[in-house]
Structure 1
Amino acid sequence: MRLIAATWAPVWHDAPDLWLDRYRAALAEVKADHDTLVIFPEYAAMEAAFYGDAPLDAQGWMRRGADHFARYCDGIRALVAETGATILSGSGFAASHDSYVNRALFCGPEGETFVEKHMPTPYERALNMAAGRPGPVIDTRFGKIAVLICYDSEFPHLARRYVEAGAEILLVPSCTDTEQGASRVEIGCRARALEGQVLVAMAPLVGEVTQCEVIDVNLGQARVFCAPDVGAPDDGILAQGPRNAPGFAILDGLERRLGAGRKETHVSVPDHWPESESIALTWDCTPLVLK
C-alpha cells in the first residue's frame, strides 16, 4: 500500500473542467490504484473555479469557490471510480447554513464522507468563515484516518482527541503564503507525530495564482512524518517531495509503517499523557520572586 501526499500547484484554465484532466494525469503519473491513498492540499478545490474572467475580491472568491465545490467533488468521485484509489480531495469553500466552511471530500471505492476545518485562521475569520463540524475517525483498508486541515495541526488537543479515538494516520492538507506559515504547519505535523506516535502526512499548495486573492501565493513541501524512534529515520521523515514546486511525497509499504511507532519504542507519549496531566494539575504556578 502507498500513501501519496501531493505538493500541488493550481493553474488558470481556458475552460471549465480542464482541472480534472490535470488530476487525471497526476494520478496516472503516480500509478494510483486500489492500494493507493492520495492527499491533495487545502484550497486545491478552488482550481475548479479558475477559468474565464473573474476579477473578484476575497469575498467574491469565497462565493465563486463555493459555487464550484459540488462540481469539483463530482470530479473527484469520477477519479476514484476510474482508478480505485482513495482520495482526500483538495479542500474548498462550502456553504454551511448562513456562512461558509473549509471542507474536503474523503472518497474511496467503499464510500465517502466530508471533513471540515475546525479552527479558522485569523484571515478566514475576517472573511466570516465558520468553524467546521467535528470530523470522524475514518476506518479504511489503509488504517484508521483523521483529517486536520492546515491550522488545525497546530492544536495538540485536536490531534490527541483523534488519536485517543484510534486514529493511526493524520492527514494534513495545507495552504500557506509565507515560509513561516509553511514552517508552522510542518512543526505542528512533526509534533503531532511525536505526541501520538502516528503517521502524519502534509500536502501543501504551492505556486502563484495572481488572479485569485485568497491563494495568490503558496509555499510548502509534501512530507510524511513518524515519531523518530526505534526503526524509524533519525529525523522522522518517511517521505518528502520537492520544496515550493509540484511533486509528491510517496511512502511505499504503508502497511509496514502502520503502528510501528508503538510496537517497540524508547518512549511512549500517548501512554503517559494522563500521567502528565495529573502532574500538571497539582502544580502551583504562582509566580515566584527570587530573593
Structure 2
Amino acid sequence: MKNSTQVSYFILGAYSYSDTRLLIYLYFLIVLIFYISIICANVLLIVVICLNRSLHEPMYIFLCSLFVNELFGSTGLFPFLLVQILSDIHIVSAPFCFLQIYCLYSYGTIEFFSLTIMGYDRHLAICYPLQYNSRMTYNKIAVFTALIWIYSLLINFVALCLTLPLQLCGNIINKVYCDNYHVVKLACSDTSVNNLFGLAHVFTVILGLIILILYSYMKILKVCYYGSKQTRQKAFSTCTPHLASLLNFSFGVFFEIIQSRFNLNYLPNILRIFLSLYWLTCQPLINPLLYGFKMSKIRIVCRNLIFEGKV
C-alpha cells in the first residue's frame, strides 16, 4: 500500500513546460480578453435589467441571476488561470485548491438549476399565457432563486466536506485548475461515501432536472404545433436563446466528463485543456451574446444605454 498523507499543496500537471515565452504571453492575452469581455458583457446586462422597470419580469429576473452566476464562476477561474499561465511553478495551496473546487462546482450546479427553472418559466408563459402572472408571482421567483443558490452552495459544501478528510497518495492534478474528481482519484482511503453521494445526487437531482426540462419543451412543442403563428413566433423568439444556452452548457459539461474520465493522452495537450475549460469559459461569454442580441427588449435598452446614455 502506498504511503498516504494530508497534502499541503497540489501541482497542476497539465501545463506544458515546452511552450515558448511568446506563446505563453499569447495564452495570457487570450484569457485576459475573455475575462474582460465576460465581465463587461455580464455587468452591462445586469445593470440594464436592474435599472429598467420594463425588464422587471420573471424571465429577466432569472436572467439577472444567471448573469450574476457567470461572474461568480468566471472569478473563481480566470484570475487564478492568469497567474498560473505566467508562473514557472504551477503549485497551488490545498486550501485555495479546495476553495476553487467549491466555487466552480457551485457555479455549474447553479447554472444547471437556473437553466431548468428558465425552461419551466418559458413553459408557463407559452402554454398558460392568461394564467402566467398568477402562476409565476414575484414571491415564487424569489423562492426559486433563493432555493437555487442555497441548495447549490450547500450541496457542494457537503461534497467538499466528504473530500477534505481523504488521505491522499499524491498531489499531482493533471488539469489547469483544481478539480474534485481528480483529487478523489488521488485518495488511498475509502471513497465509497463520495461515490455514493455523487450517484445519489445525479439520480435524484440531475435526472429530475433533465426530466423537467424535457417535459417543459414537450409541452411547448405541443402548443406550437396546434397553436397560431403568433404563438410559434413568441416561442421561437424566447426559447431559442435558452435552448442554445442549455445545449452549449450540456456539451461543455459532456466534454469535461469525457476528458476527465477517459484516457485522451493521444490528443494534443492544448485540445485537452480547451475541452476541460469549455464549460467554464464559453458559457459565461455566450450567454450575454445570446440574450443580448436575440431578445429585442434587452437589445433596445442596451442600445439606448450605450449610445444615448439612458436606460
Task: Please say whether Structure 1 and Structure 2 have the same fold, judged by a TM-score greater than 0.5.
Answer: no
In terms of Rg, which structure is larger? 2
Q: What TM-score results when the alignment is normalised by the length of structure 1?
A: 0.25
Report which of the two has the higher share of helix: 2
Structure number with greater CO (CA < 8 Å, separation at least 6) is 2
Q: What TM-score results when the alignment is normalised by the length of structure 2?
A: 0.23
